[in-house]
């Protein structure tokens, strides 16, 4: 009801684009009319308002310390501190029109730690039936990428390392693999380990880096082949050498088998994501829920749609079956899509944090842009 009142009030006052909800975090407290803090167990140590902002005098900083108490993390398998939008201000799962989200964020602290944590999520959307987020901003292995789900199959649709069009090749690889096939798992595990070795050598000083020349590359590729593992042709270049750029993209993925299998998701784009460890990144999302196997009772029977911008550049357009199937003829208990930000990660011995600013949720792209000049 609160969302509808906001909608009506703003609509009466202007013919311009408006936001359902916005928060600049300049008030230096979490507005409980806008946000829920169920997953903030120690606010005095986990939440602060900082002068290091994207727009305006303040931003919110969310910090996760090792061993922080966390909700919904069985047997110490994860750690989290997250803030979600209020239940009265969420997008309807059955919304007939797309809704838009905009915000700025930055990951902070010693970002080298991020390279050692298998799973780090710094923003996500969830909807009915989701075991995993329908959209997730990940900073695993110290690089930014965005994933979605078609049932149990995870798909990376945008990345700091590859463009969406190049990521199609990654998806082609994963579509050939079966998570129950031990040979497939061993193949990818061995090759990604070889890729990590290659990266480590490339971080050496200049003199030693020269040791890793084309002959050494060939030796490592031959060593991988000697493992007698099946190497899908998509992992090879035209000259039959291993495509290290492709393998370099996936060797930082958490739990590779989550990505194995086919999906009914099409996506395209020619831009890479920026690095949120270097400076603020302005994100814009257009979200329309949907799956072809919904029946308009358990969910909207249509192709779902996502569009994503970063720093004013369109990164990716995606269409298809997003999220998880529902039970035929049964309405979802909570038919909404909700957003949350913060840090969700595998347990680690050091703190990680993110800064978040200028959040908007509205009816159009123009309604959710930052209040300060673009980068």
Paired tokens of 71: 């909700």
Closest CA to 218 of 245, 246, 198: 198
Nearest to 82 by CA among 98, 66, 63: 63
For the beta carbon of residue 87, count every other beta carbon within 10 angstroms: 12
d(CA 19, CA 33): 15
- Tell me the backbone φ, ψ of residue 184, rounded to 5 degrees: -65, -45
Poorest-confidence range of 8-17, 55-64, 199-208, 281-290?
Answer: 8-17
End-to-end Cα separation, the chain, in angstroms:
37
In the chain the domains, ranked by start, together with CATH numbers, are: 2-160+272-364 (2.60.120.200), 162-267 (no CATH)
pLDDT of residue 239: 79
What is the average per-residue pLDDT within 118-144?
Answer: 92
Q: Are 324 and 149 in contact (CB under 8 A)?
A: yes
Say whether pLDDT at 150 is over 50.
Answer: yes
pLDDT in tens, 305-328: 999 999 999 999 999 999 999 999
Q: How far apart are CA 249 and CA 162, in angstroms?
A: 7
Are 294 and 120 in contact, with CB atoms under 8 Å apart?
no
Position 14 scores a pLDDT of: 40
Identify the band that residue 198 occupies on the pLDDT scale cut at 50, 70 and 90: confident
pLDDT digits (tens, 9 = 90+) for 229-269: 566 677 778 877 778 788 888 877 888 899 999 999 999 99
Strand partners, 278: none
- Tell me the whole-structure pTM to 2 decimals: 0.89
Stretch (H or E) spanning 313: strand 313-320
pLDDT in tens, 38-61: 999 999 999 999 999 999 999 999
pLDDT for 211 equals 54
Residue 305, Cβ neighbours under 10 Å: how many?
16
Angle between helices 214-225 and 182-202 (to 10 degrees): 160
- The predicted pLDDT at position 1 comes to 45
* Helix (H/G/I), strand (E/B), else coil: 374: coil
């Amino acid at each position: 009801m609160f969302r509808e009142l906001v909608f009506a009030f703003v609509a009466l006052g202007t013919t311009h684009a408006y936001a359902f909800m916005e928060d600049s975090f300049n008030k230096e407290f979490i507005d409980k009319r806008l946000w829920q803090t169920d997953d903030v167990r120690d606010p005095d140590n986990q939440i602060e308002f900082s002068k290091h902002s994207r727009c305006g005098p303040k931003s919110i900083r969310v910090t996760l310390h090792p061993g922080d108490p966390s909700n919904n993390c069985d047997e110490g398998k994860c750690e989290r501190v997250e803030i979600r939008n209020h239940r009265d201000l969420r997008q309807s799962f059955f919304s007939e029109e797309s809704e838009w989200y905009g915000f700025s964020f930055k990951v902070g602290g010693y970002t080298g730690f991020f390279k050692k944590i298998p799973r780090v999520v710094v923003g996500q959307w969830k909807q009915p039936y989701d075991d995993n987020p329908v959209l997730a901003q990940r900073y695993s292995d110290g690089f930014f990428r965005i994933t979605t789900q078609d049932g149990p199959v995870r798909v990376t649709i945008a990345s700091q390392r590859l463009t969406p069009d190049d990521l199609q090749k990654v998806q082609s690889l994963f579509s050939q693999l079966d998570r129950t096939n031990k040979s497939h798992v061993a193949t990818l595990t061995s090759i990604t380990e070889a890729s990590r070795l290659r990266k480590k050598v490339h971080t050496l000083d200049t003199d030693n880096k020269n040791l890793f020349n084309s002959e050494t590359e060939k030796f490592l590729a031959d060593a991988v082949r000697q493992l007698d593992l099946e190497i899908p042709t998509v992992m090879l270049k035209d000259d039959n050498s291993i495509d290290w750029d492709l393998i370099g993209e996936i060797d930082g993925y958490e739990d590779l088998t989550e990505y194995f299998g086919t999906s009914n998701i099409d996506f395209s784009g020619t831009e890479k994501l920026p690095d949120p460890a270097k400076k603020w990144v302005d994100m814009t999302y257009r979200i329309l829920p949907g799956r072809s196997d919904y029946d308009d009772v358990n969910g909207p029977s249509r192709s779902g749609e996502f569009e994503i911008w970063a720093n004013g550049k369109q990164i990716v357009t995606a269409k298809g079956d997003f999220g998880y199937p529902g039970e035929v003829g049964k309405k979802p208990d909570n038919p909404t899509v909700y957003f949350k930000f913060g840090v969700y990660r595998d347990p680690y011995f050091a703190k990680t944090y993110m800064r978040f600013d200028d959040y908007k949720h509205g009816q159009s792209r123009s309604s959710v842009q930052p209040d300060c000049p673009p980068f």
